[in-house]
Amino acid sequence: MTDDMVATWVSTKKGLMPFQHYFVKERCEPAVRAVHFEAAAEARVPPAVQAALRDPRLEAIVICPSNPYLSIDPILAIPGMRSLIVESGRPVVAVSPIIRGGAVKGPAAKIMYELAIAPSWTSIARHYAGLAHGLLIDRGDHLDDEDYPLMVESAAIMMKTLEDRRRLADTVLAFAAQLRTGKIGRGGVAAGAAS
C-alpha cells in the first residue's frame, strides 16, 4: 500500500497497543474501542500502485474478504488511495468476510461487535459504500428487500480447496463484468445506485 512506515494501533480496554501486540501477545482478547493508523496521513501511494490503478488494461478491482478494519482500512487510509480506486472507472467488487454473522477468519466479527457494528454482510455493504460497486455475499446469507448503496450477488464464498478459490475468482470476475456492462443476472440485486 505504501513504501512509507505506517503502523496499526489498537485502542482497547487495556490501553493503546500495537496491532502485533494485540494480535499475538493478547490473542485479540481485549475489547477494541478504536483502530488507528499511525503516520498514514503522511504516507504516499507508490508509483507502481498508481500506475496499476491507471493501467488501461485493468478490468476490475477486488477487495478480498479480509478484515475491513485491520486489513483493508489501512490501505484506504493512505491519502489518494481511495480516489485512485474510484477514479479508475473500473468496477470494484468486495467479497464479504462475514458469513451468517461470523468471520470467515480472524477477529472481524468480534471487533465489529465491540465497535457497536452488527457483524453482517449489510454492515460490510455500508462500510464499502462510495468505494465498491458490488458486494459478493455467501449464498447462505439472507437477501432482503432493503436498499443498499451497491449491487449484491450471492455465491459460495467459503474457500477450503484450490477449486473453491478458482470458482470464487471466476464468480468475482463474472460479477465485475456484469457491473461493467450493467447487466446483472439471476441472483444480482439492484440495491440502490452503484457508486
Q: What is the pLDDT of residues 56-65, one digit of tens each?
A: 999 999 999 9
C-alpha cell of 2?
505504501
Q: What are phi and psi of 140, to 5 degrees?
A: -80, -10
pLDDT, tens digit (0-9, with 9 covering 90-100), for 69-107: 999 999 999 999 999 999 999 999 999 999 999 898 889
Give the rounded distance of the alpha carbon of 118 from its chain centre. Answer: 15
33 or 185: which carries more pLDDT confidence?
A: 33
Q: Residue 194 has what pLDDT?
A: 33
Residue type, 93: V
**pLDDT score, position 186:** 36
Other beta carbons less than 10 A from residue 81's beta carbon: 21
Instruction: Determine the Cα–Cα distance for residues 133 and 128; give it in Å rounded to an integer.
Output: 9
Where does 1-120 have alpha helices with state H?
19-20, 47-54, 73-76, 81-87, 108-114
Domain ranges of the chain: 44-181
Looking at every residue in the chain, the average pLDDT score rounds to 90
CATH top-level class of 44-181: alpha beta
pLDDT at residue 182 in the model:
79
CB 30 within 8 A of CB 14: yes
